[in-house]
Structure 1
Amino acid sequence: MTIINKMTMNDLYSQLDNKLGSSEYGYASVYDLDTDKSVVYVSVWSDGGREFYSYNYTLNGAKVELDDASRKEVIKTTVYEDKPEEAVTMSKIKSFIKSLLVQKTPNPSLPLMKQFEDEEMVSLEFLYIKPDTFDAHNHTISREDTELMVKSFMDNLPNIKPCFAHKHETDRFSIVKAWVNPHDCTIGETFVPEGQPICQLKWNTVKAWNARKSGVLAGVSIGCKAELEDIEDEA
């Protein structure tokens, strides 16, 4: 059995925050990240107010290291530009009115489910990729293993702890249940194929709920161990 260690963007932020949150770094926190240059910008509160610094960082597998020698103070700047005026046409007005009256779906013949249920603060999320497709790490999963994964997930649901960025346990949301989509449907405006694993989340604070709906909080990222099997190309 091969244990897969993956570094997601959330993992990167979490590891950097954990390192910077120690007294060694003056209890700094990640303010921004430039992944192209491998530079993290951090903010530190001092007697003189808020200060900003940059560090170079390197990745070693699933572990991040900070280059202390690269530390330098920087100035945070913000640039605002006027938004160009957009001509208002009758077709745009009609399109806007229609969007208020009709919920758009990729295929009106498919069953429709709401992704966000405001009154109950409940959202539907993709638990993992659909069978026989590939994730960002070029890993895939069969339909049979998808069923087994979801069954294991539900069997262990009482022991699963909700977290932000895989590391920080939270009570701001709860996992209600998970299932394998039994037929093609539409969630919000997104086509969801048969076999797609889905989970339902209950958000426990209005602030967290609004952050999820606005996209500040992204969808779920499952953290688990798996057996990795090489697939031979039959072509």
Structure 2
Amino acid sequence: MKIAIIASEFGEAAQAAKVLRSRYKAVPTSEADVIVALGGDGFMLQTLHTYMGQNVPIFGMNKGTVGFLMNEYQDDDLIARIGQAERFTLHPLRMRATRCDGEIVEYLAVNEVSLLRETRQAAKIRIAIDGKVRLPELVGDGVLVATPAGSTAYNLSAHGPIIPMGADLLALTPLSAFRPRRWRGALLPSSVNVELTVIHPQKRPVSAVADMHEVRDVRHVFIEEARDVSLNLLFDAEHSLAERIFTEQFES
């Protein structure tokens, strides 16, 4: 098995990578069967985007802050751990955002696509699912659509639901909703498309963000699951991503 070892430049990750490279023969990422990524969830997100087209599984080890998408760091028996790891396939969201000037910008999001107000004025957003308007006007800071992998990130902080892996669901979660005041969002089948239309975009400017990619001054955003793109993560059998999501729901 040929492995590549990459690391975040922050914290202890770089030193940990040096230790691993002294113990295991590493190859360039272009030649690797598996990429070993050292850092936190932010670095894992960056890694997934960087190597999205390479179709190489990624085994992450936590040398960051959160590490929800990472395995525990150990420098012993790395090859054996990778060989015994469980593979989990993720499909990102495809965001197609239309700016007020007519430009169309497309990005993929592993965690979530979020619409956020740019100024002191609340955003007004119309929500349609598969072409049918479900909410004529949401007034607030914005709204997001999260994948199961992203449901424990920004979505959870916004009081959205945690989605178990394999549920084929997306979370549609409002951000500080003012109207309708009691609307808490919705769970959607992953097969649907979501259209978010900004009402009065010049007066109430809104940005669209797909993970770390921001598009400012949008008037319309189309979101769907990118079934043609597969991302493969490897997890120790006793620390699978599905189990972590399950455990998260029972932590105090």
TM-score interval (norm. to shorter) = under 0.3
The higher-RCO structure (CA 8 Å, 6+ apart) is 2
More strand by share: 2
Instruction: Compare CA radii of gyration and give the structure with the larger one.
Output: 1
TM-score scaled by length of structure 1: 0.21
